[in-house]
Structure 1
Amino acid sequence: MNFETFQQSIKATTPPENISLYLLAMWHDANGNWDKAHAMVDNLNDSTACWVHAYLHRKEGDNANANYWYRRANKKIPDMSLQQEWENIVKAIL
C-alpha cells in the first residue's frame, strides 16, 4: 500500500485489512477517533508506537506528555502542522 491509497482509505467506513497496528491507529485518528487511536498504542513501547503516541498527545494539546513520548521515540517535538506530521508518520510506517 502506498500513501495515496492509505489516504483514500480514510473515506471508507472501515479501515483497510492487514495493516499494522500503527497505521490502524493513524487511520482511526484521521477519522476523528482519537480515543481508539490512543488505546492502540497506549501500552506499546517501541519507537514507532512512541512516535504515534507523541503525535496523539500533541494533537490533544498535552505538550508535556507529548514531549515525554517524543523523547521515548528519540525525536524532538516537530515544528510543523499536525497534518504534516500525520503524513510524515504514515509515510515512515508505510
Structure 2
Amino acid sequence: MTTADLARSVATDSQPPAGLTDTERCLWLAKAGKWHEAHDLCQELGDQRAGAWIHAWLHREEGDFGNAGYWYARAGKSAPANRADLAAEWEQIASALLD
C-alpha cells in the first residue's frame, strides 16, 4: 500500500482495510485520529525504529513535546522544527516507511 492509498482509505473508510501490515495499520490509525489504538500498536511493531518514529509523532500530536523528543531520539530522527505541521510529517513518515 502506498502513502496515497493509505491516506485515501483514511478519508473514505471507517476502519482500516483488511490485510494491512502492522506498520500500515499503525499509520492508518494515527492519520484517522485513533490515537490510543495507534499508540498501543506502535509500541509492538517489529521494526522498532519505525514504531518509535510513529510514537514520536503521536506524542507531538498530543502536545507532549518532551516525550516526543525521547521517541524521536529512539527512532534516530530529529524532531521537526515546525511543531504545527503534523500532516506534512505524517506524509514524510508514511513515505519513508511505505513507498
**TM-score (normalised: structure 2):** 0.85
Give the number of aligned pairs: 94
SS of 1:13's partner is coil
The residue identity in structure 2 corresponding to 1:19 is L
The Cα of 1:2 is off from its aligned counterpart by 2.1
Deviates more, 1:27-36 or 1:63-72: 27-36
Q: 1:15 Cα shift?
A: 1.0
* Contact 2:56/2:70 (<8 A) preserved: yes
Structure 1: state its 5+ residue gaps: none
Cα distance in structure 1, aligned partners of 2:67 and 2:8? 31
Asked if residue 92 in structure 1 is aligned to residue 92 in structure 2, the reply is no
What fraction of aligned residue pairs are identical, expressed as a percent? Answer: 37
Q: 1:43 Cα shift? A: 4.2
Q: What residue ranges of structure 2 are gaps of 5+ in the alignment?
A: none
Range with bigger deviation, 68-77 or 28-37: 28-37
Runs of 4+ in 1 over 4 A off after TM superposition: none
> Is it true that 1:20 corresponds to 2:24 in the alignment?
no
| SS state at 1:79 partner | coil
Q: Residue 7 of structure 2 contacts residue 31 of structure 2 at CA under 8 Å; is this kept in 1?
A: no
* Residues 67-82 of structure 1: pairs in structure 2 closer than 5 A: 67-80=69-82, 81-82=85-86
For 1:65, the equivalent position in structure 2 comes to: 67
